[in-house]
Amino acid sequence: MLIVFLVLMCVGFLFLVRIAVVLVMMVKSITEEQLHALLPLDKTSMDFRSIMDGFQSSMDCCGLFNGYEDWNENVPESCNCPPPEETMTDVCVVIPGNYLEAFFSQRMVYSQSCGPILLTLLKTAFDGVMGVFFGLTTLTVLGIAISSCLIARINKNRIAGVVLGPTLVFSTSPPKYNELVNEPYH
């Protein structure tokens, strides 16, 4: 049974290493160049635009790398700064438009772009997943080492004549309980 455990631990170790290699390759393939290939954002699919709208709303950012300019002329409402933050020039910027629009109402949008935030979140998530895989891989290596030591110890003791288990051992000397039973009373 211990050998089956050892084999399963080896298979589990190989499986974890394989998944970790695939994850490393997948995350390395997501680079800034691939995010730049999505620009301009107003030309992307509706699904991606809705994802970006949600991300921009929750992270208080706009665009991927160049702020609102990534959206060309179609900057979504999710880039707008809420009224309390409109006066903060380090958080919000004014979108230049025609003079009449700028005179009557200025549209303030977030100045921070979402690309660096997205890449940081991906890296943090990847580090967490790789930490879990490293921990599981360490446990499988520990299980392999301990089960290998137990198998070696059991085999060594079987060769020496000592058996650790419910196996019968035949000996020429009488059993120890006979000595206790046959002793005279004092």
| 132 within some domain | yes
Residue 47's domain spans which residues?
10-79+111-145
> Please, are residues 56 and 75 in contact by the beta-carbon 8 Å criterion?
no
Q: How many domains does the chain have?
A: 1
- 39 in a structural domain: yes
Question: Is residue 177 situated within a structural domain?
Answer: no
In this predicted structure, which of 24-33, 127-136, 159-168 has the lowest mean pLDDT? 159-168
pLDDT tens for residues 26-58?
A: 777 777 777 778 888 888 888 988 888 898 888
Q: Does 121 reside within a domain? A: yes
Does a structural domain hold residue 61? yes
Q: Does residue 123 sit within a domain?
A: yes
The verdict on residue 104 lying in a domain is: no
SS3 per residue for the chain = CHHHHHHHHHHHHHHHHHHHHHHHHHHHHCCHHHHHCCCCHHHCCHHHHHHHHHHHHHHCCCCCCCHHHHHCCCCCHHHECCHHHCCCCCCEEECCCCHHHHHHCCCEEECCCCHHHHHHHHHHHHHHHHHHHHHHHHHHHHHHHHHHHHHHHHHHHHHHCCCCCCCCCCCCCCCHHHHHHCCCCC
Task: Note whether residue 32 is domain-resident.
Answer: yes
Give pLDDT, residue 167.
52
| 69-123 confidence digits (pLDDT tens) | 888 888 888 888 887 655 666 788 888 764 545 555 677 888 888 888 888 888 8
pLDDT at 108: 83
